[in-house]
Structure 1
Amino acid sequence: MKLRNLSFCLCFFLISFAIQAQKEIQKAIQTQFILAEDGSTIELDEGRFEINTTLSLEGKKNITIKGKGIGKTVLDFANQTDGAEGIRLSNLKDVTLQDLSVLNAAGDAVKAMNVKGVKFIRVETAWEGKPKASNGAYGLYPVMCKDVFIQGCIARGASDAGIYVGQSKNIVVKESIAKENVAGIEIENSQNAEVYDNIATGNTGGILVFDLPDLVQKKGGNVKVYENVIEANNYKNFAPKGNIVGKVPPGTGVLILATSDVEVYKNVIKDNRSMGVGVISYYLTENPINDKEYYPYPTNISIRENVFERKSQKATSQGRFGKMYRFVLRFGKDVPFIQWDGITDEDNKDWVLCVEDNTNATFANLDAENNFENVSREMVECER
């Protein structure tokens, strides 16, 4: 009996010691963030550290936050009780986050806002367990930033987008993996972006390029999506109700919504059940447009030199973008790789779509503008 009591006391002591040690580690990390001086490096040790509050860095210049590697330095926010993000970077100039994992944040995993010169290098964001609507919306989330660089990152389980860049300028997303998110990689209302050498797999939609209304930066464009592997993005849509990505059907490879000057080329786009590449206007969302400055049509879209592959099977029937996807289901197992809703702005003389030099490509103009009366499977060659 005495031995049992001694063992119990020892276990209780060890647990209490471990809890206190975690609190001290969190306090030390917070202190580094708060007291960091311009030009300094915040070094994070190897280990799994429980963090229950947002780690914030604000108003600094030339800061590096550096761990020991993905899966080696792990910040676990599973028991987070304070703050909307795991890590929040705001009003900074030239900040680098690298070589660490950020897990199970209550909201967005890593958010950067109003930062000029932000780099994410070998950063993992993830929510452990089965992906679900209660997961945070975004993994890596730079918004209203300039000079965004993302390399060698991993994003899993986000209920909106794993790697999301919004209302930003001068963007590179390269050599990263996005899996089991609603949207793997999303470029939204952003200008001058290159997305290349990435793998987007197992998401609801692989890569999205959107312009949406009611945002500060109205018009995105000059986006290049090239040399990516966009494969088997057939995961069920688990976005919370009301999110625009909640309308994306499982089985979407690339979706271009109401934006301009987008090039999709030299990608491998395979085994996405509903479409390889979709090009649609905002009208297909069936949402009202109240923003008078918003332009709802896609223009100047180039789809070329891609390799398409797909098993013969029906498109999915979930998360549909209005009438378009109800109509796509009528194709049965012969689902076109490239789909355009056919809605154009008669007052805009810019060309809409150029499709050329793809491998195994099939095409459909759904003629949604005329209630799908004249659906055409004839391949578009630089439609103007």
Structure 2
Amino acid sequence: MMAGRSLVLWAALLAGAGQAKTIQVAPGPGAAEAVQTALIEAAPGDTVLLAAGRYAFTDGLSLDVKDVTLAGVGEGKTILSFKGQKSAAEGLLITADGSVVRDLTIHDAKGDGIKWKGVNGVHVHDVTVEWPDGPKATNGGYGVYPVASRNILIERVTVRGASDAGIYVGQSRDIIVQDNIAEYNVAGIEIENSMFADVAHNVVRKNAGGILVFDLPNLPQMGGHSTRVFGNRISDNDTPNFAAPGNVVAEVPTGTGVMVMANRNVHVFDNEISGNGSAAVMIVAYKKPFDSAGYNPLPRDVVVRGNRLRRNGFAPAFPGGAELAKAVGGTLPPLLWDGAQTYLVDGKPVTEVVRIGSDVPALTLNLPSATADMAAARPAPVQLRAAGLPPEPAPVAVELRATR
């Protein structure tokens, strides 16, 4: 068993190191324009420092200069409000390598709170992103959202109210998500179509679903694998699912602790998982038809071990869940697997052995295929052994620049 903390490798910033400067902005008339101007005019190595106060924006911010830090003076002290935002899908969009965002709060982004797209080097820490009016389908989709990126460190971040996922990392690799709080979102933390991720020591509570590890079709990067979910407190995820209809997460049952869907080599261990009405851990196939060449909708090589479990599965919120629980004594066992081992490619069935290891009681639905619904279920207890499964992935190492 490897466990242990992930590794952050700090590299000195060489470009412009001798000339790095701090650009200070204070709240007041013209502050919104001053912040965007500072982000445009910053040079590599510079810090844009926002003084305490509330900054009101009617447009989103963008950063496309590498190795720039955007900093406030503390969460709840420097507040960027996008309640009046009229355009742009994000509060802050970053398309440059090596950015750092720290010590500030973002409110009411029209779309995502902070989004990084196609960058190498993402470091966000001591940041709050929230929609203060509470869970609503009209809230932005993601709080913190790196996509198509690598070398990602998300730590000491709090996200509340996202209508999709509070902390979401998609189509990326070399990822550490640690020491965060995700609450009152549809999904607390989601790792999607990504490789080499550590999700560790987070508090994930009061969402509809806690931690999701998914792989979806029809995306530029598919075949997600090698994720460790460990040391987290995943509790009381009982917020009714408020995702907009049609979103993938709209189908996550309220009361899900951890859900693994169509991903490979996922290890879930040493977590505290309690108070989740649907299930502590759900392992399922992607259910919808797809036409992505090479996509595999089945979960493979998933290990669930050494978790501390308490009162889960007492109120399943998925179709047929209440009847299923009644049939097995009123409460579902800690692990629920849909049992699917067949899917269709070009109309032809493909069958493979799905290997899942667990040290806790499990129930399989024995679904005949990935796309079958609950009407075809033949539930039965199942013994899931970890013998022969791949070893736990190595701790993730990310490479980031050192900051002042």
Could you say which TM-score interval applies, normalised by the shorter chain? Answer: 0.7 to 0.9
Q: Deviations over 1:203-224 (max 9, x none)?
A: 0000000000110001111000
Partner letter of residue 205 of structure 1? G
SS of residue matched to 1:282: coil
Q: How does 1:1-384 map to 2 (within 5 A)?
A: 22-58=28-64, 60-90=65-95, 92-283=96-287, 287-310=288-311, 313-317=314-318, 327=324, 331=328, 333-345=330-342, 352-356=355-359, 361-369=360-368, 372=376, 374-382=378-386
Q: Deviations over 1:267-326 (max 9, x none)?
A: 00001000000001112xxx2212222111111100000011016833225xx5xx7787
Q: Deviations over 1:22-76 (max 9, x none)?
A: 4411111111111111111111111111111111001x22111111111111001
Partner letter of residue 354 of structure 1? G
Are residues 166 and 312 of structure 1, via their aligned partners in 2, closer, same or farther at CA, if it must alter by over 3 Å? closer
Displacement of 1:330: 5.0
Q: Deviations over 1:226-267 (max 9, x none)?
A: 000000001100000100100011000000000100000000
Question: How far apart, in 1, do the equivalents of 2:223 and 2:93 lie?
Answer: 26
Displacement of 1:344: 1.6
Are residues 332 and 172 of structure 1, via their aligned partners in 2, closer, same or farther at CA, if it must alter by over 3 Å? same
Q: Deviations over 1:154-182 (max 9, x none)?
A: 01000000000000000000000000000
Question: How far apart, in 2, do the equivalents of 1:137 and 1:217 lie?
Answer: 20
Q: Which has the higher helix share?
A: 1
When the two chains are superposed, the root-mean-square deviation of aligned CA atoms in Å is: 2.0
Q: Hey, what does 1:8 align to over in structure 2?
A: none
Paired residues of 1:22 and 1:50 also in contact (CA < 8 A): no
Q: Deviations over 1:81-134 (max 9, x none)?
A: 1211100001x1111001111110111110000110010111111001121000
TM-score after normalising by structure 2:
0.83
Paired residues of 2:315 and 2:322 also in contact (CA < 8 A): no
Question: How far apart, in 1, do the equivalents of 2:322 and 2:169 lie?
Answer: 26
TM-score after normalising by structure 1:
0.87
Unaligned ranges ≥5, structure 1: 1-20
Question: How far apart, in 1, do the equivalents of 2:382 and 2:187 lie?
Answer: 29
Q: How many residues are paired up?
A: 351
Partner letter of residue 352 of structure 1? R
Paired residues of 2:341 and 2:352 also in contact (CA < 8 A): no
Unaligned ranges ≥5, structure 2: 1-26, 343-348, 370-374, 389-404
Question: How far apart, in 2, do the equivalents of 1:258 and 1:312 lie?
Answer: 22
Partner letter of residue 141 of structure 1? Y
Are residues 119 and 219 of structure 1, via their aligned partners in 2, closer, same or farther at CA, if it must alter by over 3 Å? same
Q: Which has the higher contact order (CA 8 A, sep 6+)?
A: 2
Partner letter of residue 143 of structure 2? G
Paired residues of 1:315 and 1:332 also in contact (CA < 8 A): no
Are residues 374 and 80 of structure 1, via their aligned partners in 2, closer, same or farther at CA, if it must alter by over 3 Å? closer
Q: Hey, what does 2:402 align to over in structure 1?
A: none
Paired residues of 1:300 and 1:350 also in contact (CA < 8 A): no
